[in-house]
Amino acid sequence: MTKRHLTIATRESPLALAQAESIKDLLQKHHPHLSVDLLGITTQADKRLDVLLTEIGGKGLFVKELEEALLDGRADIAVHSMKDVPMELPPGLCLPVIGEREDPRDAFVSNEYASLMQLPSGASIGTSSLRRQTQMSVLRNDIILKTLRGNINTRLQRLDNGDYDAIILAAAGLKRMDFGNRIRAYLSVEQSLPSAGQGALGIECREDDEATKALIAPLDHAITNSCVTAERALCRRIGGGCKVPVAAFAQMHRGVLLLRGLVAGQDGIHILRAQLEGEAKNAESIGTRVGEELLQQGAEKILKEFQ
| Rounded Cα distance, 79 and 189, in Å | 26
Task: Report which of 172, 175, 219, 177 is spatially closest to residue 77, judged by C-alpha positions.
Answer: 219
Vertex 80: Cα angle to 210 and 236 (nearest 5): 90
Three-class SS of residue 276? strand
DSSP code per residue over 144-209: EEE---S-HHHHHHHHHTTS-SEEEEEHHHHHHTT-GGG--EEEPTTTSPPPTTTT-EEEEEETT-
Element (H, E) at 274: strand 271-279
Residues annotated as catalytic are: 84
